Structure 1
Amino acid sequence: MYRKSSGAVGFSFNRLITNAFPNFANDNPGEDADLTSTQKDLLWVHQLGAAETRGRSPMTLDEDSAFSAGITTSEKNSARIHKELVKNRITDPAAPLGIDTTRITQRLPHELAFVSIHAQRKTVGMLFFWEQEALRWRLLDQEESELKAALEDEGTSAASKQELKVRLEGVSMRRGMRPSSRQEEAESSAHQEAHPPQYS
Structure 2
Amino acid sequence: MSRKRKGSKGFSFTRLANIMVPNFFADTAPTITSALVGLRKDMCYAHQLSSPNPFALDERSFYVAGVADNEAVSRKMYKALKKHGILRADDGNGEVDTRKIGQSFIHQLASINVMRQRELINMLFWWEEETQRLKKLVAEERRAKEKLDQLKFARERIRMKKRQRPSQRRADVEADKDNLMEAFYGGGSRNAPPLAQTSSGVQDNGKPPEYYAPG
Deviation, 1:135, is 0.6
TM-score, normalization by structure 1: 0.55
Count of matched residue pairs: 125
Is 1:148 the counterpart of 2:149? The answer is no
Is 1:114 the counterpart of 2:115? The answer is no
Whole-angstrom CA distance in 1 between matches of 2:79 and 2:152: 50
Is 1:91 the counterpart of 2:87? The answer is yes
> Compared with structure 1, are the counterparts of its residues 146 and 156 closer, same or farther at alpha carbon in structure 2 (3 Å cutoff)?
same
Whole-angstrom CA distance in 2 between matches of 1:136 and 1:97: 17
Deviation, 1:114, is 0.7
Which structure has the greater CA radius of gyration?
A: 2
Alignment of 1:1-200 (within 5 A): 31=30, 36-49=37-50, 51=51, 56-92=52-88, 94=91, 98-153=95-150
Question: Which structure is higher in helix share?
Answer: 1
Classify the secondary structure of the residue corresponding to 2:124.
Answer: helix
1:13 counterpart residue number? none
TM-score, normalization by structure 2: 0.51
Larger mean CA deviation between 106-115 and 148-157 belongs to: 148-157
For 1:106-163, what per-residue CA distance to the aligned partner results, in whole angstroms no more than 9, with x for missing partners?
Answer: 11111111111111111111101111111111000110111111122269865xxxxx
Higher relative contact order (CA 8 A, sep 6+): 1
Deviation, 1:97, is 8.4
1:171 counterpart residue number? none
For structure 1, list consecutive stretches of 5 or more residues without a partner in the other structure. Answer: 1-27, 159-200
For 1:28-57, what per-residue CA distance to the aligned partner results, in whole angstroms no more than 9, with x for missing partners?
Answer: 9xx5998811221121122223x1xxxx21
**Contact 1:97/1:131, CA 8 A, preserved across alignment:** no
Whole-angstrom CA distance in 2 between matches of 1:153 and 1:75: 47
Q: Read off the aligned partner of 1:69 and give its amino acid letter.
A: A
Q: Read off the aligned partner of 2:62 and give its amino acid letter.
A: A
Q: Read off the aligned partner of 1:39 and give its amino acid letter.
A: R
Whole-angstrom CA distance in 2 between matches of 1:147 and 1:112: 43
**Contact 1:67/1:75, CA 8 A, preserved across alignment:** yes
Whole-angstrom CA distance in 2 between matches of 1:117 and 1:66: 16
